[in-house]
Structure 1
Amino acid sequence: MTALMKIQSFIQAYVKAIASILDVDVTIVDNELVRVAGTGIYADEIGETVTHANFFHHILVSGESGSIMDSMADLNCKGCEKRTTCRELANVAYPIFKEGAVVGIISIIAFSEGERKNLLENRGQMEEFLKYMSVLLESKLYTDEAKERLEQQLQVVHDAEKGWSFVGDSQKMKEAIRIGKKVAKSNSTVFLRGESGTGKEIMAKMIHALSDRRDKLMISINCAAIPENLVESELFGYEEGAFTGAKKHGSIGKFELAHGSTIFLDEIGDMPLPVQTKLLRVLQESVVERIGGTKPIPIDIRVICATNKNIEQMVEEGAFREDLYYRLNIIPIELPPLRKRKEDLPALIEYYIAYYNQKLGKSMRGVSPEALQTLTSYDWPGNVREMKNIIEYLENIAEGEIIQLSDLPDHIVMRSGKGFEDWSLDEIVEDYEKRVLSSMVKKGATLEEKNQLAENLKISRATLYRKLKKYDLL
């Protein structure tokens, strides 16, 4: 038995924790290319030899970290027998050492384009994290004291994930924050209500960070993102042989993983009725029972849930259990939409300009009065999340150090109807004409394409060129 296989149960538990925190899939193989631990599709291959192992074999031999950013083009995959059918799109891996020899590899894998993009954007951080995990696993091979050190390293990552901040001074937002802070140290269930993008997850992080459970990971689950047939097994876990496809030794559920900590159930209005019944028992009896299991497992958790739906109406329609509703609605906190706290907009805009200045290396100083008036008049159906995305867009698009009305996206200007009070009709028409042409003229458009555009707009080629020159679009 290899060194890593001797501590397999320890490694698997932490691989699951890492995957839960970083929202990625993780695997570990030993120096015989046997999979010691894994999440996602590799959770079912523990104990099996990795057949498509060109990449891992190179790391075992060289003792150096490696990465694959495009499995179809990377030389590491050349000659691999599973190259054309491999589901891995990207991979970042780091060797695990013992006494100077490579005894295994820890790897983060992307199976979707979204995961691949995240891996590319955070490659340096991921590599550094794997380096620390490798060092701590090496220590674990010598002494159980490394378990505590590994938990501390996981906590460092968790601390980076749990950061929370609320910007603004509106009365409704201050009241929501006041209640959240007051109940943070309680174990009572909190029910966060509010439209999408109002900051429910940030509020959950704040409550957990101020609670006595803050030293352990808060486990977050988006109930709407899990396929209905998998919700129960994800939340409560399952035993070996519980259903077709159940992996050997079963699987721990999110409630067990959250033992001693906080579990955040986002979009709870999307939870299927059969699962609602089981959740009610968990809340009432503080025990969880895995699918296919017969033994109740005691758990100590604090539940925070959230929804953007009208739960009361769902109760009336029979789509949500009334008894569960009353069990969850112990401490309700309403987060106001941005359109009802517009006095906070200037502070929010300033905050996110500073945030993206640092993140994107920009030097934006603010917004013009006309642009601010337009942004303030807009209703922000996507709330703070939409506003954050708009500021990021403007930081990339705006030419000067001050965001002008002409920089704002068309849908905000047209739906706002503000910012034009001091403009003449000719100026308003010119601004709209520039926006239309900007959206229709491709960068580097050919003469033929411009001629076709003039024909489509039913103007002469000379008129089109005159307008393009006027708006600096040539």
Structure 2
Amino acid sequence: MENSLIDIKEHVKKYANVITNLINVDVGIVDKNMRRVTGTGLYKNIEGVLALGSVYQNTLKTGKTNIIRNPRQHELCSECLDKNRCREKLEIATPIYCRDEIVGVLGLVCFNDEQKEKILNALDSYLNFTKQIAEFIGIKFYEYQEEASQKEREETFNQIFNNMAKGVIVSDCNDIILMVNNIGLKKLKLTASPLGKNLKLISQNETIMNEEVFKLFIENSEYNVAGKIIPLALPNSKKANAFLFDDIQKINSSIVEIANADNTITLDNIIGNSPATIQLKENIKKVADSTSTVLITGESGTGKELVARSLHNQGNRKDKPFVVINCSAIPDTLLESELFGYVKGAFTGANQNGRMGKFELANNGVIFLDEIGDMPLYLQAKLLRVIQDKKIERIGSNKSIDLNIRIIAATNVDLIKNIKEKKFRSDLYYRLNVIPISILPLRERKEDIIPIINNLIYKYNKISDKFVHTIEKDVLTALTEYNWPGNVRELENVIELMINMSSEDGVITKKMLPENILNISEKNFSSADKVIFKDDMTLDNFEDIEKKYIEKALSVYGNDTDGKKYISEKMNIGLTTLYRKMKKYNIK
């Protein structure tokens, strides 16, 4: 709200009475909006009434003092709305300044010739006197504005101060508490006012969620909090500090919310009707509440993280943090600090506040170590100690942090082979492999392909704003017969591609298939198939048939080790036998 001279009318009235009593003339004072503030004589008790005089208006506009010796005849009076009722003999209008702004007009008015003559005989003296009174009024108005602004600032500050989400304690340079906001009183459970008491803060050289951890002492009471100290300058120029803080419990709740923000995966997200998938779900239910470590193995793209999240969500820690770290995606030099965190100043380039590690972030919940097979050996030793001791230490700290945590690890590499090659510790492997969960590749559970396709069509219809409702039979045949070396991840990419390529008719046709799947589909009836179904087939050409079968299988399932393993399993022979047959038939 805009301030006006009317707000200090009691003070202005005193100045008006002083003038009248000293020089025996009437006084009229208006604000910058031409509203009468106060006055004497004819102008007494008409506060708030709109003045009509054109002389005051001119003074407000020009900032000049106007002396009207001949009212009603002066050129300024020609436009006056009150001209016909005017009885004035002399009028002096002096501007009232507050800093550089005109905030009103002080008017001296004579209604008889004796008053007029008296003023004119000593005009300069009366003009100076009037100007001084106008300055006094301006100074008083300035003081009022400053007080009003200060009060408004204090009210605004108090509203912000008491509605902050964090607790705030303001203390002076001697650590005496000056202010505490409402949320601060609540967080510290203070029933008596702490104002005037001594405050002590001791840094623990740790951080949680980028907030420094402190022990806070008020008299004999101790609190564990996290926050920051902000230097202040009080209005009296004395130094002070504001301590913005949260209680550790509140921060831990925030950590859980952040860690679980994407954890909406349940058993229903594991799609499939194959015996292997049904058994997988049953196994997850059985071990979900256990605290034992889990090792999930399976080829890339089979959904190991999906299984880990389902396992967490099914268990009794589902409301606790679920923290993921990909051991192959983070450089070796950074992985240790990511896992264990560090205190401030632990190493060159470290965050000045220190940092919480993933293990600490996951405390009371679950940590998922994806691609555990790529963890460097020196860190494997540290991880082994964490599993055994249930404790960690931040880099640069000698303070142990107790852990109540469940570890789920996953890998797509053969850890037994890595152990033989001295790339993975055998003791760590046995510590991790307490509850083994193996996920079959998609080619070994083809009953899951159609349900997964249906689920993906629903998903990408929503994402792409499409309405795909039909897949042609030969497309489904091609998709179910394909080997899927990239597993579910590859299948998802193919479905996303075909939905994006689909027309408004909502039908997926064979021409939408990726070229690699289309080419394999067209080789289904190869020369080997024709030999098998010949009516004149005899045992004499069995070796020819076997050779062509192996050649076809290699073209379909791949010439790498995984492909050959799969072919040998389907032929019910050992891998060594397959190599021997390939050598016999000169298959390269």
Scaled by the length of structure 1, the TM-score of the pair is 0.58
Q: Which has the larger radius of gyration?
A: 2
Please say if residues 342 and 396 of structure 2, whose CA atoms lie closer than 8 Å, have aligned partners that are also in contact. Answer: yes
Q: 2:255 & 2:367 partners in 1: Cα distance? A: 18
Q: 1:298 & 1:217 partners in 2: Cα distance? A: 16
**Aligned mate of 1:186, from 284, 290, 305:** 290
C-alpha spacing 1:279/1:348, structure 2 compared with 1 (3 Å): same
Q: 1:232 & 1:144 partners in 2: Cα distance? A: 25
Q: What is the CA-CA distance between 1:13 and the residue it aligns to?
A: 4.0
Structure 2 residue matching 1:197: 3-state secondary structure: coil
Structure 1 residue matching 2:436: 3-state secondary structure: strand
- Aligned counterparts, 1:190-209, within 5 A: 190-209=294-313
Q: 1:326 & 1:148 partners in 2: Cα distance? A: 32
**Aligned mate of 2:520, from 390, 415, 419:** 415
C-alpha spacing 1:362/1:220, structure 2 compared with 1 (3 Å): same
> Unaligned regions of 5+ residues in structure 1, if any?
17-35, 38-45, 49-139, 422-474
Partner of 2:423: 319
Q: How large is the Cα RMSD of the aligned pairs? A: 3.4
The one-letter code sitting in structure 1 at the alignment partner of 2:421 is E
> Does 2:277 match 1:173?
yes
Q: 2:476 & 2:325 partners in 1: Cα distance? A: 36
Q: What is the CA-CA distance between 1:47 and the residue it aligns to?
A: 9.3
Structure 2 residue matching 1:333: 3-state secondary structure: strand
**Aligned mate of 1:215, from 319, 324, 346:** 319
Q: Per-residue displacement from partner, 1:34-77 (whole Å, max 9, x unpaired)? A: xx99xxxxxxxx999xxxxxxxxxxxxxxxxxxxxxxxxxxxxx
Please say if residues 257 and 321 of structure 2, whose CA atoms lie closer than 8 Å, have aligned partners that are also in contact. Answer: no
Please say if residues 327 and 371 of structure 2, whose CA atoms lie closer than 8 Å, have aligned partners that are also in contact. Answer: yes
C-alpha spacing 1:148/1:329, structure 2 compared with 1 (3 Å): closer
Q: 1:211 & 1:266 partners in 2: Cα distance? A: 19
> Unaligned regions of 5+ residues in structure 2, if any?
1-156, 170-202, 212-225, 231-243, 527-588
> Which of 1 and 2 has higher RCO (CA within 8 Å, sep 6+)?
1
C-alpha spacing 1:415/1:266, structure 2 compared with 1 (3 Å): same
- Aligned counterparts, 1:51-450, within 5 A: 154=258, 157-160=261-264, 165-399=269-503, 400-417=505-522
Please say if residues 370 and 420 of structure 1, whose CA atoms lie closer than 8 Å, have aligned partners that are also in contact. Answer: no
Please say if residues 192 and 333 of structure 1, whose CA atoms lie closer than 8 Å, have aligned partners that are also in contact. Answer: yes
C-alpha spacing 1:228/1:144, structure 2 compared with 1 (3 Å): closer
Q: What is the CA-CA distance between 1:419 and the residue it aligns to?
A: 7.5
Scaled by the length of structure 2, the TM-score of the pair is 0.47
Partner of 1:443: none
Q: Per-residue displacement from partner, 1:362-400 (whole Å, max 9, x unpaired)? A: 110121111111111111111111111111111110223
Q: Per-residue displacement from partner, 1:77-131 (whole Å, max 9, x unpaired)? A: xxxxxxxxxxxxxxxxxxxxxxxxxxxxxxxxxxxxxxxxxxxxxxxxxxxxxxx
Partner of 1:459: none
Q: Per-residue displacement from partner, 1:150-181 (whole Å, max 9, x unpaired)? A: 57864873444778611111111222221122
Structure 2 residue matching 1:168: 3-state secondary structure: coil
Q: 1:191 & 1:351 partners in 2: Cα distance? A: 27
Please say if residues 192 and 332 of structure 1, whose CA atoms lie closer than 8 Å, have aligned partners that are also in contact. Answer: yes
Q: 2:418 & 2:337 partners in 1: Cα distance? A: 24
C-alpha spacing 1:156/1:299, structure 2 compared with 1 (3 Å): closer
The count of aligned residue pairs is 302
- Aligned counterparts, 1:24-39, within 5 A: none
Q: 1:146 & 1:276 partners in 2: Cα distance? A: 33
The one-letter code sitting in structure 2 at the alignment partner of 1:390 is V
Q: Per-residue displacement from partner, 1:264-320 (whole Å, max 9, x unpaired)? A: 000000000000000000000100011122122111100000000000000011000
Q: 2:424 & 2:309 partners in 1: Cα distance? A: 26
C-alpha spacing 1:151/1:246, structure 2 compared with 1 (3 Å): closer
C-alpha spacing 1:420/1:204, structure 2 compared with 1 (3 Å): same
Structure richer in strand, relative to its length: 2
Q: What is the CA-CA distance between 1:418 and the residue it aligns to?
A: 5.8
